[in-house]
Structure 1
Amino acid sequence: MSLAFMKCYSCKRKIIFKAFKQIFQMVDFVSTLIILLALVVIYRRFSCGQRCALVIVQGDLGRSPRMLYHTLSLLNRGYQVNLMGYVDSPLIPEILHFKTLKVIGLTTPLSRSSSRLSYVYKALQQMFYLALGFLKCDKPSVVILQNPPSIPTMAICAIFRYIYGYVLIFDWHNYGYTLLGIALGSTANALYEISKKYEKFCAQFSDFNFCVSKAMQKDLHENWDIRSTVLYDKAPQRFRELKGSDRTDFLKSQPYLEDVVDDFDAGSSKRAMLVVSSTSWTEDEDFSILLEALVKYDKTVSTSSNSEKSYPKLVCVITGKGPLKNFYLEKIKKLSLENYVTIRTPWLEAEDYPKLIGCADLGICLHTSSSGLDLPMKVVDMYGCNLPVCAVKYNCISELVEHEQTGLLFQNAEQLLKHLMRIAVTEYGNTNNVLNRMRSNLRKINDHRWDQEWDEKAWPIIKTAN
């Protein structure tokens, strides 16, 4: 018994010593790893990062024009620019020839369901991919982050701010928590409240802030004590009005207009107006308003017996892609349209989108802000082409659209229908031409473009980072 006990005791000692040895080896490994990470941090913190900028979008880069314009402006100022985001759509051609541009594609996180737990799982994946992206990029002296999305980008940028020592600028397009409220279907939700507190907390770590409207500037200051600079969206030079043969040639080159292109000829007996709307097909744009107005226009004009008034056919081109596109495509298929309305829903390449807008007669904007504080970029693009707009009325839209001067505001399908009827009959009836008057007003104010706005508002702030 004594011998057996000693053997058992000896075996246990060996097992214990082996376990301790493995633990010490693991501690040595962890210590080594920590030291290596510390050396990387020190190197990154104090290595040269002059004239290097990082522009971050936790979204599709090709569908984030404002951040691409930031990138182009920085490149033109001689910066080396790291552009980080999802590379799902083509980038604007103006930035692609710069050798000082480095695109860092983020991996799209797996999203298996729409449950609340999946939001947490998705955020953890995004944290990992963003951290990996930071390690891949050159050390920046300035970081410009698009917000929203807020989770987890604001926190990750704040953490790496202490590692790299860069100037951190948040570019406020909206509030992330208000968009989450729409996605969740309710603001009476724990995730909504957590998101709001998180966004407010992370906002304190920025060095400077840009925002898209005076209304947002006021809200940031009054509610979160955040001072910001209003950097209005402005169209770049590639957005311009197309006339004559330029217009005709482009329209004839578009396959989705092949069967109606001759109707745009001023001498055509059918006469057609080109109406354009762009969208991300999300919950904050109710396209049923436009579809209802188009159906009523078609029926009204088809049954009109007034020989003194002539109404054109409307060719409505809706471009873009997003989560609700298939839902609305099914609704469009079921519409009962006669002869006066045609709807097309193409996806356009980056170089064709401004040309289509430049050819259009009227723009439609159905954007309603989740916060009531942001302004629609699509209207800015349309104004760059001197294109009058019919836009949904909400809190701060008057900062961009002057009713009766540069566009017309509406709140429902009936009001939009009235605008369409008024514009259509005056455009081709030669009485009180509304569109030409608004185009003329736009031409007078259209000299101020993105380059000038950025040089006046953004550059004085960014250059302090060096």
Structure 2
Amino acid sequence: MWDLSPKTTLDFALYGLLAFSTLVTIILVTLPSQYDPYSTDFAKDEVVDDTKKVMTPAEYVNRRTWVKQTRHLGASFQVVVLGDIGRSPRMQYHAISIAKNGGQVQLVGYTESELHPDVVSNSSIKVVPIDPSPAWLQAPSKLLFPLVAPLKVLWQAWSLYYAMGYDATATKWMLVQNPPSIPTLAIAYFVCFLRNTDFVIDWHNFGYSILALKLGRRHPLVLVSRLYENIFARSAIAHLAVTDAMATVLKQKYGIKAQVLHDRPAALFKPLNPEERANYLSQLPETAQYAKDLLSGFMRLVVSSTSWTADEDFSLLLEALTRYSALVTSKTGLPKVLAIITGKGPLKEHYLNKIRALNQKNQLLNVLLLTAWLTPEDYALLLGSADLGVSLHTSSSGVDLPMKVVDMFGAGLPVVGWSKFQAWPELVQEGVNGRGFETAQQLSDLFVELFGKDVLSLRKLKDGALIESERRWDEEWDGVAGKLFLLVKQLT
């Protein structure tokens, strides 16, 4: 029997209080350190020699003033994406721009693919990797997704918290990509609260709308995700959005004001002259044996970049190319097509099986479909060497835009893309630098029109894309994010 005498009860209470206080002490001691604007973590070469001596109040004030005058206070950043950094060009561009303007950046994310060369070579940018979730947490089907998803979120929450709170040092600013919103926004807000860091969200899309592609808009998890995103959106002190349409939705439905920072191509993407194009097509393994036909116009080079996910309907391109292949046989003057598809993603094998089946049925006789995974430099050169870019991004929310189109314009490459969503006209001017389609038949008709004997249509789009290529990321970023982060002071 338990002894519940007053003395024993008091002992239990004292032991319990001691254990609780010990636990609280451990938690407090091990919490992430707070941001200190006068810390030497980010500019050790700028620290005076008298930091360890005892200073009078006047000397201390003078030193604080000296620090403010000799270096950018608050120019330290965590740039966070709960995804593969190499496939997050916008967040890499943020890091490059911050470093270019005197900031110190810790770029937090998964390191699954090659990074932008300017990220790798810049000493002001430190990559902080997040531990990837184990393979068994990858949900194999819609049926198992609700069971596995919570475990995956817990794993991601801990690994993200540890990377931001312990692997990375405290910073003045934290710029977080959304989506994914779960668990990113909650963990980021918690770390920012603990570290006295200013929390900024960069809205690429809405997390709940992407989840709805998998589960349906009425699914309880989608409804919870939408509420969660709405609540934590209000915890940030500032917001960036990729389109005017997205900023409008954020204001109307979330009650927050976002500054619009349109995507623009980085310097890596640029038009090629005829000699550069010929050299690259002759060297790239995927195009080398077809270089002569590509340069003569007997064959056209089409490029599409895809993440092989549900928000990109790759079957549209397959059907359009099948229709086009049949027309090449019956119509003179239509060139053959070499289509190179770049990217990685969960549905890749599914569509590769479809391509193999079409080839076995001889439905792609006049079309060669290849897949490739290229370095950032090679991808930029491929876009500069192509005749036409294709975007299959269908937009889960209707207010985001595909970054791939921005890169294509940067290389002076005209674009055809799925256009049945609200924000499309913010990026593509119909008939000027690109064309839109909504069905496979329309896409096939565009191939016939642009690749036919009348070359004026494609040439006009090419001229428009070359003009668009002059609009660059640096100018856009400096005028919006540069001012927000007070780095604009360093601009000349």
Shared fold per TM-score greater than 0.5: yes
Partner of 2:380: 354
Cα distance in 2, alignment partners of residues 410 and 260 from structure 1 = 28
1:384 aligns with 2:377: no
Determine what percentage of the aligned residue pairs are the same residue: 35
Match of 1:220 among 240, 250, 257: 250
Match of 1:66 among 90, 105, 125: 90
Structure 2 residue identity aligned to 1:251: L
Partner of 2:62: none
- Matched ranges for 1:408-427 at <5 A: 408-425=435-452
Match of 2:307 among 264, 276, 280: 280
Partner of 1:158: 189
Partner of 1:179: 210
Structure 1 position 122, deviation (Å): 1.2
Cα distance in 2, alignment partners of residues 72 and 180 from structure 1 = 30
Partner of 1:4: none
Partner of 2:198: 167
Partner of 2:47: none
Cα distance in 1, alignment partners of residues 38 and 233 from structure 2 = 27
- Quote the RMSD (CA, aligned, Å): 2.5
Structure 1 position 251, deviation (Å): 1.3
Partner of 1:138: 169
Structure 1 position 91, deviation (Å): 0.5
Q: Deviations over 1:410-464 (max 9, x none)?
A: 1111111111001111xxx3x3511111121232343220000001111110118
Cα distance in 1, alignment partners of residues 212 and 204 from structure 2 = 16
Q: Deviations over 1:126-175 (max 9, x none)?
A: 11111111222121111110000001111111112222222211100000
TM-score (norm 1): 0.89
- Matched ranges for 1:305-384 at <5 A: 309-335=332-358, 336-337=362-363, 339-384=365-410
Bigger Rg over Cα: 1
Partner of 1:125: 155
Structure 1 position 311, deviation (Å): 1.1
Cα distance in 1, alignment partners of residues 207 and 364 from structure 2 = 42
Q: Deviations over 1:341-382 (max 9, x none)?
A: 111111111211110000000011110100000011111111
Partner of 1:55, secondary structure, is strand
Is the contact made by 1:302 and 1:338 (CA closer than 8 Å) also made in structure 2? no
Q: Deviations over 1:66-113 (max 9, x none)?
A: 000000000101111000000001110012122222111001123153
Is the contact made by 1:167 and 1:465 (CA closer than 8 Å) also made in structure 2? no
Partner of 1:207: 237
The verdict on how the C-alpha distance between 1:400 and 1:339 changes in structure 2, with shifts beyond 3 A counting, is: same
Unaligned 5+ runs, structure 1: 1-7
Partner of 1:344, secondary structure, is strand
Match of 2:268 among 205, 215, 238: 238
1:259 aligns with 2:289: yes
Is the contact made by 1:141 and 1:465 (CA closer than 8 Å) also made in structure 2? no
Cα distance in 2, alignment partners of residues 28 and 211 from structure 1 = 44
Unaligned 5+ runs, structure 2: 43-73
The verdict on how the C-alpha distance between 1:29 and 1:37 changes in structure 2, with shifts beyond 3 A counting, is: same
1:401 aligns with 2:425: no
Partner of 1:443, secondary structure, is helix
Cα distance in 2, alignment partners of residues 207 and 16 from structure 1 = 49
Partner of 1:5: none
Structure 1 position 261, deviation (Å): 2.4
The verdict on how the C-alpha distance between 1:107 and 1:47 changes in structure 2, with shifts beyond 3 A counting, is: farther
TM-score (norm 2): 0.85
Cα distance in 1, alignment partners of residues 37 and 288 from structure 2 = 59
Structure 1 position 31, deviation (Å): 4.2
Structure 1 position 21, deviation (Å): 8.6
